[in-house]
Structure 1
Amino acid sequence: MRNVPLIVPIMTAFLLIFFLMGSHASASYGWGYKKNTDHKIPDVGKYQKILDDYGAYYADHSGDKVIYLTFDNGYEQGYTDDILDVLKEENVPATFFVTGHYVKSKPDLIKRMVDEGHIIGNHSYHHPDMTILTKEGMRKELEELEEAVAAISDQDELKYMRPPKGVFNEKTLEWANDLGYIHVFWSLAFADWNTNDQKGWKYAYDQIMNQVHPGAIVLLHTVSSDNAESLSKLVTELKKQGYSFKSLDDLVMKNMLPEAVYGY
């Protein structure tokens, strides 16, 4: 018993070191980058190596004047049909990252997205912070969403995911890979999700045109009336400037195949 006073502080110190090491290993990050108006891919600092290590994307670094439109859909405000109309008219592909609530409440729109050639991405079923889940919890979130989409559309497999609120860490990136998913972040976005603070189509138009760059993965929200009203004008102007619109499948394929095979 004479050793107890010595053992207690040693054990306390050991547990503290273990806790700190564990906390560091599972530290979470919120996606972000340094915006610029130079029409260049924004710098993401230390995130670049992390994304490279796990095959994640936030932009196309080839230098080609290509844009990848992506939309996050958690709920519906009545503008998605208008957005789909523009995409169809302009022959522009997009990826829609959806939640379980969206799939359950708007199956007709999910079906239309798929029928018109767009990709459904996984934004999780319940929109949780993925970094606080176990691997099994993450698997359940992704599989539930995938099954819900497959039940109402012809897309029976999802392969791209966007973590809720852009929160991630190396653990979630690794687990996503294990589960067959590729993380897709973004290199162009603005505050468009507040439905009570829409500023008119010109605001959305200017935000995108000021930040646009070759290889941009653009994040938009379909709840924005500004986005719906500006989209046709944006697509028209960007095509005039020599940009083309591709899907995430094109981006991944480009990075898998030799340049000569892909045709660039």
Structure 2
Amino acid sequence: MTPLDCLYEISRPCADRADAPTVYLTFDDGPHPICTPQILDVLSEYQAPAAFFVIGVYAKAQKQILQRMIAEGHQIANHTMTHPDLSQCSVSELEDEIFTTGSTISAVCPQACLRYMRAPYGIWTQEVLKTCQRAGLVSIHWSVDPRDWDCPGVDAIVTAVLEGVRPGAVILLHDGCPPNELKAASGACIRSQTIAALAHLIPALRTRGYSISPLPQTTKGHPHVPA
């Protein structure tokens, strides 16, 4: 096992049409009480499934949002308890961050079938990957990052995704922010650009022939750093 043995792209048969390459929408750093429901509204409007990599401390307070995710056909995944740089954590801290998040999500939303984990900041180490494996989780990175967390503008987010997307692409977006950034990001919806971009992206991806699908329960991936 090497630090790059996590999924960046996913190879699987197309879910909707035999001729439609598949891509995957994923959201990190929620659930946020304002932004996440608005993102769920857009996904519902376009009948597009997504995976939400949730932070455990937020999940505790957002039971209804997690239950809505599952009820509307989305997936919930592990994004640690407090969003630390896992490369700076001890083995016991790693286990607490990953295993406690799993138990927290299961307590809040027993219907959730946890399959995937993503490391905060995309920082992977061999010990992080081993801990995920012990937790029964698949480690998943991303292959398209429009840096929406930096609020570059709606057009910039849309353009970056459409220029970087390819069959099997895992698209990284955000529906919240880490706990250490929450005060600075308080107030109005912090992911308004992401929400607006999403309403353009889903039809644009479909126009280009892509099927938007849930993350598969069994996976074949490409463990390499995307170009």
After TM superposition, the score normalised by the length of structure 1 is: 0.68
Who is 1:212 aligned against? Answer: 165
Q: Note the C-alpha offset of 1:95.
A: 0.7
**Which residue, out of 222, 228, 241, partners 2:175?**
222
State the one-letter code of the partner of 2:7.
Y
Q: Note the C-alpha offset of 1:102.
A: 1.8
State the one-letter code of the partner of 2:139.
H
Q: Secondary structure at the match of 2:73?
A: coil
**Which residue, out of 75, 81, 85, partners 2:41?**
85
Larger RCO of the pair (alpha carbons < 8 Å, separation 6+): 2
Who is 2:224 aligned against? Answer: none
Q: Note the C-alpha offset of 1:58.
A: 0.7
Who is 1:99 aligned against? Answer: 55
Who is 1:241 aligned against? Answer: 208
**What is the number of equivalent residue pairs in this alignment?**
201
Moved segments of 4+, more than 6 Å: none
Who is 1:173 aligned against? Answer: 129
Q: Secondary structure at the match of 2:141?
A: coil
| Percent of pairs with identical residues | 32
Q: Secondary structure at the match of 1:70?
A: strand
Q: Note the C-alpha offset of 1:74.
A: 4.1
After TM superposition, the score normalised by the length of structure 2 is: 0.78
What 5-or-longer segments of structure 1 have no aligned partner? Answer: 1-46, 257-264
Looking at structure 1, the residues matched to 139 and 111 of structure 2 have their Cα atoms a distance apart, in angstroms, of 18
Looking at structure 1, the residues matched to 31 and 114 of structure 2 have their Cα atoms a distance apart, in angstroms, of 19
| Preserved contact between residue 54 and residue 80 of structure 2 (Cα < 8 Å) | yes
Q: Note the C-alpha offset of 1:209.
A: 1.2
Residue by residue, what CA displacement relative to the aligned partner does 1:221-259 show, whole Å, maximum 9, x if unpaired? 124211101212211121111100111125x35x39xxx
Instruction: Give me the CA root mean square deviation.
Output: 2.5
CA, structure 1 residues 214+165, in 2 after alignment: closer, same or farther (shift >3 Å)?
same
Q: Note the C-alpha offset of 1:184.
A: 0.5
| Preserved contact between residue 33 and residue 62 of structure 2 (Cα < 8 Å) | no
Q: Secondary structure at the match of 1:128?
A: coil
Looking at structure 1, the residues matched to 8 and 215 of structure 2 have their Cα atoms a distance apart, in angstroms, of 11
Who is 1:66 aligned against? Answer: 22
